[in-house]
Amino acid sequence: MPEWEPVIGLEIHVQLKTHTKMFCGCEAGFGGEPNTRTCPVCLAFPGALPVPNETAVEWTIKLGHALNCRIAERAVFHRKNYFYPDNPKGYQISQYDEPLCIAGSFVVPGPEGDTKVGIVRAHLEEDAAKTIHVGGETGRIVGSAHSNVDFNRGGTPLVEIVTQPDLRSADDAKRFLQLLRQTIVELGISDAEMEKGTLRADANVSVREVGETGYRTRTELKNMNSFNHIARGIEAELRRQIETWESGGEVVQETLDYEVKSDTVTPRRRKEEADDYRYFPEPDLVPIEPEADVVDRLRAEVPELPGVRIRRFEEQYELSYYDAEVLNGSAALAALYEQVALDGIDAKAASNVLMNDFVATGVDPAAVNGAELAKLIEARATIPRETFTRALTESADPEFRAETYLGDTLIADTAELEPLVERILASNPGQVAAYKGGKEGLLGFFVGQVMKETQGKADPKVVNDLLRQKLA
């Protein structure tokens, strides 16, 4: 049997969180009473004229910089013609052969080196309205009783990002999307939430034999609404294509839906070719010609991006890739880590506390005073575990001061602990005999008893030493 290599490219749609829509002054945003955020432009009344949203153009350029794209000196809006009830103009204003951002790349750091993914283009367009199929089990048109259209979403600015087919596994595709999402969120241009549909991704999937240089026929996978579903959908489609080729069949170009329940893909429709859309330049809009100083200003506004920050954390704080990745799960957590680490705390200890104990509390890292947290972490060996956890839980309080908790010190005085240790050993003769007979794991049992009696306030190191001494 030949060895197969997956070839995966992604098409990502990102809804920008501008206040208003792409070509009119209607409020943009998720939800709302259906059909309340509309006007003659986004409802396509005859004679209504589009006016481009400047913020949306600037944010797309900013994203282009983050994706290492070349920003076009001249970009053109085109009409993409097709009929659908959620598209009242009969065309979507999009970009075709002169998009705003071209030929970039996006680097995904990993434990075994970087994955560099080519970016073909990132262009600006308007979103369609939302069709809601009523009745039926799946929420799809098949089996539904009727359909409603909500035009609130119609005309919302949308950026489409198209990658090269550079991804070689479903996991790589998922990791790419997660890092891209975080990058977009940190740029402040979109909430990029898959469950709300403000981030949507389709995958172009094909396989080829290892060593083959050309590409075989690809299919397009749609309708996947979480990172896990995307990875599983790609896996299912890879399996199907490999089986098809190995049984002497031929993969045909088509669009597929991933069905989560059955973990299989089902055909949706034959893929349209670009010719079918009869693209032509939008006569109501002039080309976008961004001025050089605006492009430069937007480049300067791009913050340090999460992919870059992960590598810097590994180097600067000598952390493992895994630690650096977890700490960069959000910009706020990364910033808090840096405040704590720069305060002179051991970088690895600070990383362990933040990644495990702190994250487990669910406290918002942006609300925490890093200097006070650093004091707390530094003193963690001298205060009871319970107190430490409570302090972390309360660390977002503006009044939070580490010293409030530091008075609650551990009992480390041997004279105080010794009688207690002796009493516990005397009242558990069976366990003592078993320990002396070789069941050394019972030490933990004795430590636990001491902790229980002292409400967790005994210094575990002193207790361990005392117990070993007495049991010797």
How far apart, in whole angstroms, are the C-alpha atoms of residue 8 and residue 119? Answer: 13
Beta carbon of residue 45, minimum distance to Zn ion (angstroms, whole number): 10
Shortest separation between residue 133's beta carbon and Zn ion, angstroms: 24
Give me the residues paired with residue 428 across strands: none
339's tokens: 């405040």
CB of 56 to Zn ion, least distance (A): 14
**Does 100 engage in binding with Zn ion (CB under 5 A)?**
no
Our CB check for Zn ion shows the closer of 25 and 344 to be: 25
Binding residues for Zn ion, total number by CB under 5 A: 5
Cβ proximity of 339 and 194 under 8 Å: no
Per-residue x/- marks for Zn ion, 30-59, CB under 5 A?
---------x-xx-----------------
- Residue 39 or 443: which CB sits closer to Zn ion? 39
Rounded Cα gap, residues 392 and 390, in angstroms = 5
Q: Pick between residue 151 and residue 446 the one whose CB is nearest to Zn ion.
A: 151
Using CB under 5 A, which of 12, 22, 26, 463 touches Zn ion?
Answer: 26
Q: How far is the CB of 94 from Zn ion (least distance, A)?
A: 17
Q: Give 42 or 374: the residue with its C-beta nearer to Zn ion.
A: 42
Scanning 16-24, 259-267, 335-343, 392-400 for contacts with Zn ion by CB under 5 A, the matching segment is 16-24
Q: Contact at 8 Å (CB) between 128 and 99?
A: no
Answer yes or no: are the C-beta atoms of 53 and 18 closer than 8 Å. Answer: yes
Is the Cβ–Cβ distance between 258 and 238 less than 8 Å?
A: no
Span from 20-28, 72-80, 292-300, 376-384 in contact with Zn ion (CB under 5 A): 20-28
Listed in sequence order, the residues at least 6 apart from 300 whose beta carbon sits closer than 8 Å to its beta carbon are none
Q: Which of 8, 22, 24, 128 binds Zn ion (CB under 5 A)?
A: 24
Q: Which is nearer to Zn ion, 39 or 432 (CB)?
A: 39
CB of 61 to Zn ion, least distance (A): 24
Nearer to Zn ion, 42 or 108 (CB): 42
**Based on CB atoms, which residue is closest to Zn ion, 57 or 421?**
57
- Report in angstroms how near the CB of residue 371 gets to Zn ion at its nearest: 48
Least distance in angstroms from the C-beta of 86 to Zn ion: 15
- Least distance to Zn ion from the beta carbon of 38, Å? 6
Of 109 and 157, CB closest to Zn ion: 157
Nearer to Zn ion, 24 or 256 (CB): 24
Q: Choose between 42 and 238: whose C-beta lies nearer to Zn ion.
A: 42
Which stretch in 23-31, 194-202, 224-232, 405-413 sits in contact with Zn ion by CB under 5 A? 23-31
Burial 283-320 (b: 16+ CB within 10 A, else e): eebeebebeeeebeebeeeeeebbbebbeebbeebebe
What is the closest distance, in whole angstroms, from the C-beta atom of residue 173 to Zn ion in the complex?
35
Among residues 320, 328, 347, which one has the least CA distance to residue 111?
320
Q: Is the dihedral of CA 458, 463, 464, 465 positive or negative?
A: positive
- Of the pair 41, 354, the CB lying nearest Zn ion is at 41
Min dist CB 158 to Zn ion, Å, is 15
Residue located via tokens 């986004």: 42
Q: Kindly tell me which of 25 and 448 has the beta carbon lying closer to Zn ion.
A: 25
Piece in contact with Zn ion (CB under 5 A), picked from 18-26, 97-105, 427-435, 436-444: 18-26
Stretch that binds Zn ion, among 25-33, 82-90, 224-232, 419-427 (CB under 5 A): 25-33
Report the nearest approach of Zn ion to the CB of residue 17 (Å): 17
In the region spanning residues 282 to 301, those forming contacts with Zn ion, defined by CB under 5 A, are none
Least separation in angstroms between residue 24's CB and Zn ion is 3
Q: For Zn ion, which stretch binds (CB under 5 A), given 24-32, 96-104, 360-368, 443-451?
A: 24-32
Instruction: Report which of 356, 291, 278 is spatially closest to residue 61, judged by C-alpha positions.
Output: 291
- Contacts with Zn ion by CB under 5 A lie at 24, 26, 39, 41-42
